[in-house]
Amino acid sequence: MLVSVRRRELVLDAPLRTAWGELRSRTLVEVEIEGADGAIGRGEAAPLPPYDGVSVEECVEGVEAIAAILRRDGDRVAGSELLEACRSACDLPQALAAFDLALWDRAGRRAGQPVATLLADDVLGRVAVNATIGALDRAGAASAAARAAQAGFDCVKLKVGTGDDAGRVAAVRAAAGPAMALRLDANGAWTVEQAVRTIEVLAPAGLELVEEPVHGVAEMREVRERVPVRVALDETAAEPGALTASVADAVCLKISRSGGIAALLAQASLVRATGADVYLASTYDGPLGIAAAVHAAAALRVDLPCGLATLDAFADEPVPAALAVRDGAIALPGGPGLGL
């Protein structure tokens, strides 16, 4: 099997400030595989060092280790055996995701079908997505919320734990109107006491849920028991046992952190077995990662809005037509494979 690997740097339109730091650009590691039959598949690794602690170097090393396996065995070994060999070469989820995506893309192209329809029979035709508001000031947050409402979004997510949370929440609610679902993401910035106090103060604004108010399974359990708002795991979902700990009302899953589409579907089953909801989000993935998440969300019939409307954050990278956001949703790409 032929395998090529290349790095790609995408610059953000405006720096994104969150509780874990500031992001100005991100590096993706893209892979392309081509089998002896000529069918190709493409995937990407999207490590985000300040968020997941995985450096680009570490990721490239993992991608190359897996590439060596595919170059040697990709045309003679198939399916789960091949993925097992990849996993034994490198267990970094971000690197595994790149090849999981490429193998699904290739399988879809060979079958002439969108990946989602290889994953499930009854898939969604469109995946609801939220707008993300990163503005640190009330006026900026309000105008972003008004733009989101005008563009047809039904849900906005506001980064909190970054200062003036109450002022910005009020500004967003006022600008977006009463019907807009308002999701907060603290990226684990608060202690349990801060989270309880802050959420109590903000709850009257009408909150859909609060993502990662605190880090840690025990801390999440305590916050959930004490606040009148739904809470969701994001970063804490990576902790061992977190997915089945029943400490949150919902869990945010990510293609990159899960290790690809197949692993994300397995994680979603675990979460749903506990009665919690799942939704998906990107870690400012490129188009391939977003497409993979849309296929996975469509196959899972996720109805909570997903954090996948992030491609327009990149300055020089036009959003591919197949992934355009319309009326607060991304339609399932209809082409074969990932549809890009």
- Least gap, CB of 298 to Mg ion (angstroms): 21
Nearer to Mg ion, 238 or 270 (CB): 238
Strand order in the sheet with 126-128: 126-128, 329-331, 325-326
The CB-of-252 to Mg ion minimum distance in angstroms stands at 6
List interacting residues with Mg ion (CB under 5 A). Answer: 185, 211, 234
Distance from chain centroid for Cα 138: 26
Cβ neighbors of 311 (< 8 A, separation 6 or more) are 286, 287, 290, 317, 319, 320, 323
Which residues have a catalytic role annotated? 159, 254
DSSP structural state of residue 214: S
Nearer to Mg ion, 157 or 173 (CB): 157
- Contact of 228 with 69, CB cutoff 8 Å: no
Using Cβ positions, the residue closest to Mg ion within the complex turns out to be: 234
Kindly tell me which of 210 and 338 has the beta carbon lying closer to Mg ion. Answer: 210
Q: How many CB atoms are closer than 10 A to CB 166?
A: 13
H or E stretch at 273: helix 261-273
CB of residue 251 to Mg ion, shortest distance in Å: 11
**Distance separating alpha carbons of residues 198 and 271, to the nearest angstrom:** 27
User: Whose structure tokens read 């499930």?
Assistant: 120
Least separation in angstroms between CB 128 and Mg ion: 17
Q: Which is nearer to Mg ion, 105 or 185 (CB)?
A: 185
